[in-house]
């Protein structure tokens, strides 16, 4: 009986020590989730817009620009998530605002 009590005590200690990590969201988790939800909406693909140019680029150039923008956007959201995980509100808000600007800039076109 003592071995099972010891196991239960250890299991409870581990569970309790992990609970705050799961219960507490980072300082801008809701903002990140909101942006990710907006990007996943089927009605808009904001990261594939292109400004009107006097001379239209080639399809290959447009494809590379889209890939670069997608990559930059993903990296910016990932940076926001890293700051959020560390509880660094200022860095997280800065990164999420940069991602929002990318989203809004290309969503309006």
- Does residue 52 or residue 91 have the better pLDDT? 91
Q: What is the pLDDT of residues 11-38, one digit of tens each?
A: 344 444 444 444 457 889 999 999 888 8
- Does residue 19 or residue 62 have the better pLDDT? 62
Averaged pLDDT for residues 50-66: 74
The residue extents of the domains of the chain are: 26-107
pLDDT, position 76: 94
Kindly report the number of other CB atoms within 10 A of residue 47's CB atom.
17
Cα separation, 11 vs 34, whole angstroms: 35
Q: Is the pTM of this model over 0.75?
A: no
Question: Please, are residues 102 and 49 in contact by the beta-carbon 8 Å criterion?
Answer: no
pLDDT, position 15: 42
Q: Residue 20, by phi and psi: left (phi above 0), alpha (psi -120 to 50) or beta? A: alpha
Beta-carbon contacts of 31 under 8 Å, excluding residues fewer than 6 positions away, are 80, 92, 93, 96
């Amino acid at each position: 009986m003592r071995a099972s009590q010891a196991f239960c005590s250890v299991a409870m200690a581990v569970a309790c020590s992990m609970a705050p990590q799961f219960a507490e969201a980072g300082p801008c988790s809701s903002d990140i989730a909101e942006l990710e939800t907006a990007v996943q909406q089927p009605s808009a693909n904001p990261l594939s817009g292109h400004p009107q140019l006097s001379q239209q680029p080639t399809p290959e150039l447009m494809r590379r620009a889209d890939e670069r923008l997608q990559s930059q956007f993903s990296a910016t959201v990932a940076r926001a998530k890293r700051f959020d995980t560390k509880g660094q509100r200022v860095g997280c808000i800065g990164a999420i605002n940069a991602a929002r600007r990318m989203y809004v800039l290309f969503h309006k076109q």
